[in-house]
Amino acid sequence: MERIGILGGTFNPVHVEHVALAKNALEELKLDKLFVMPTFISPHKNSAPAPAEDRINMLKIAFSGEEKIIVSDYEIQKQGKSYTYLTVEYFKNTFDAKLFFICGGDMLTNFKTWKYPERILNACDLAVFGREEVFTDYEKEKKYFKEQFNKDFIRLSYKGNNASSTKIRIYSSLGLPLLGIAPNGIEEYIKQKGLYCGDVYTQFVKKYLPEKRLRHTANVINCALNKAKELNLDTEKVRISATLHDCAKYIDHTKVKGFVLPKDVPAPVVHSFLGAFIAEKYLGVDDQEILDAIRFHTSGKANMTLLGKLIFVADMVEEGRDYEGVEYLRELYEQEDFEKCFVECLKEEFLHLLNKKQRIYFETINAFEYYVKD
């Protein structure tokens, strides 16, 4: 009997981890065929992906030369919401084969919320891979699967790193190279087709920030968006705040018409206040929560909103940061106690300023006393 795997996803767009995972699953599960299948509309995602034709074409580019890996347009042609139970039952009825549906450990923990999970497990076996930044309690899930479905899942050895489709979209919108995160040929295709071009906010920062600071901005956006869902935050507000947090980093505040610098703002904090002013007066941002997140992302302040805290923290722990103690802060960030991570970041910033004998802005002192001091 043939052994057939199904790897589904939005693939918006395909990234290097998709390719590595597919090749690993092909070998580890001893598959005769692996169908890579983009969804038409994912029932778990709200944002509209790139056109189906482009996602299919990029998958074909990424898997060219792989004879056992087949890009399937079944869910695209079927249209509507792409439910896994319908897909695996179609393949079960079409092929006389042992079926494996491949998914990430993060999906495993939500499997019980999928539509008709019992029907999925009747048609196929789940093969689960890990992700570096996601903790999954596999023993707990095994126990639940046994009790609920009287079935186990296969745990693949593959553990993916932090490459993601979101990161590719962010980097593309800021005109940054995709080396190391997108398969060969994908960056050229994205440029040719004008995909993931960004908006007025990304166009502004592309104009005023050098590549190194653009990369930092991209990493802050990606870092913040990775946490937004867990914190139940509006992802668009998170994206705008993170995109514009450093938008005024290299702009002379004395030459910006109408801007009045508040009294006693230290030089390293000036760009935060100027950034909020530019966001409001020049880019039309009228959401005060977003403006405050930009204004206080460097200094912090007492009684911050959750959005403000997220931008403050993401600015400190994004993957490009390299200072003593950052790995500890990243570990906290990847865990579920975000408030503890925020407090530790605030302490780190306060102690850094003390050690450097730099003048500490009164809002930072207020924040430290509000959140840290007993």
Q: What are phi and psi of 45, to 5 degrees?
A: -125, 145
- pLDDT over threshold 80, residue 336: no
Q: Tokens 């906290």 label which residue?
A: 332
Return d(Cα 42, Cα 45) in angstroms, integer.
Answer: 5
Q: How confident is the model at residue 47 (pLDDT cuts 50, 70, 90)?
A: low
Return d(Cα 51, Cα 23) in angstroms, integer.
Answer: 25
- What's the pLDDT at 8? 94
CATH classification of 199-371 is 1.20.1440.230, yes or no? no
Mean pLDDT of 150-161: 90
In contact, 91 and 35? CB cutoff 8 Å: yes
- What's the pLDDT at 133? 65
| Stretch among 1-5, 155-159, 286-290, 363-367 having the lowest mean pLDDT | 155-159
Which sign does the torsion angle of CA 191, 222, 81, 97 carry?
positive
In contact, 90 and 97? CB cutoff 8 Å: no
Q: Tokens 């994206």 label which residue?
A: 239
Mean pLDDT of 132-161: 87
Q: Domain limits of the chain?
A: 2-163, 199-371
CATH number of 2-163: 3.40.50.620
Q: What would the two tokens of residue 169 be?
A: 């979209």
Residues 175-215 have pLDDT tens digits of 999 999 999 999 999 999 999 999 999 999 999 999 999 99
C-beta atoms surrounding 315 within 10 Å: 23
Total residues found in the chain within this entry: 374
Residues 63-73 have pLDDT tens digits of 999 999 999 99
Residues 86-136 have pLDDT tens digits of 999 999 999 999 999 999 887 888 898 999 999 999 999 999 998 766 778
Q: Tokens 């869902």 label which residue?
A: 229
Q: Cα angle vertex 220, ends 215, 225, to 5°?
A: 130
Give the closest residue to 238 by CA, choosing from 281, 201, 277.
201
- pLDDT over threshold 90, residue 162: no
**DSSP labels, 185-247:** THHHHHHHHT-S---HHHHHHHHHS-HHHHHHHHHHHHHHHHHHTTTT--HHHHHHHHHHTTT
Could you list the beta-strand ranges (E) of the chain: 2-9, 33-38, 69-71, 97-104, 125-131, 154-160
Task: Provide the b/e sequence for 169-191 (b: ≥16 CB within 10 Å).
Answer: bbbbbbebebeebbbeebbebbe
Return d(Cα 307, Cα 368) in angstroms, integer.
Answer: 18
